Amino acid sequence: MNPLTSVKGSITTGFVLAILVSIALTSVAGGDVGFHHAQVARWLHIVAGVMWIGLLYYFNVVQVPGLAAAAADKGGPGGAGISKYIAPTALAWFRWAAVATWLTGAYYLVMFYGSIHKAFALAPDMRTIGVGAWLGTIMLFNVWVLIWPNQKKILGIVAATDDEKAKARKTALYASRINFILSIPMLMCMSGHTHTLPF
């Protein structure tokens, strides 16, 4: 089976390669380099976050403008193919990557910093990562409470009138745009040199 012919095969191959790289790095360092479970949690947090934010950027920068252009093109093929085949799959990866990002981030906070509470309380030694955690939590809320329920109406997964669909489009768009905006400072907080930078 060629792993390049399926998403599952490619993901599995990527994780196997990562494990082999970590074993090789450990061997080269004479066994002194190993991965602590907090480091694994951070790595999984980054992988899930790349999937989540990558899809968020795809929706806001590519799909939404593309669907608007398709709707405006009266002689064109329209956006039915995207709405029927691409959007539901992208939204499934999007919402579950959001959950995985939040859970691995919470696990990392507990394993590396010893507390999730200190981050959310914006303790002085965890302000930067705490702000990032709050932003990520707001974004997770938006995904599951605002974006997904409204996308189900837009995509016809749940019954909705034309007026309800129009309202759902606006709500989903605004929640997605808010997440797009929040992602920029959230990523700044995640990627800070240390997570104890003063404000």
- Residue-wise pLDDT tens digits, 133-144: 999 999 999 999
pLDDT at 31: 56
Tens digit of pLDDT for each residue in 6-59?
999 999 999 999 888 887 877 766 655 556 777 888 889 999 999 999 999 999
| Assigned token pair, 102 | 């939040």
Q: Which residue has the higher pLDDT, 138 or 193?
A: 138
Separation of alpha carbons 26 and 157, rounded Å:
48
Three-class DSSP category at 119:
helix
For residue 199, is it within any domain?
A: no
65 plus 162 within the same structural domain: yes
Local confidence band at 63 (pLDDT 50, 70, 90 cut-offs): very high
pTM of the model: 0.87
Write out the residue range of the structural domain in which residue 6 sits: 1-34
Which long-range contacts (C-beta less than 8 Å, at least 24 apart) are formed by 81-86?
83/154, 83/155, 84/155
Residue 198 lies in a domain: no
- 48 and 23 inside one domain: no
Q: Are residues 97 and 80 in the same domain?
A: yes
Task: Determine what percent of the chain is predicted with pLDDT higher than 90.
Answer: 68
Q: How many domains does the chain have?
A: 2
Does residue 54 sit within a domain? Answer: yes
Q: Is residue 79's pLDDT more than 80?
A: yes
Q: Which two tokens stand for residue 56?
A: 């968020």
- Tell me what the mean pLDDT of segment 107-119 comes to: 91
Nearest CA to 145 among 89, 105, 88, 95?
Answer: 95
- Say if residue 97 is in the same domain as residue 167: yes
Whether the predicted pLDDT of 198 surpasses 50: no
Residues 45 and 133 in one domain: yes
Average pLDDT, the chain: 90
Better-scored residue on pLDDT, 197 or 30: 30
Residue 44 covered by a domain: yes
pLDDT at site 30? 61
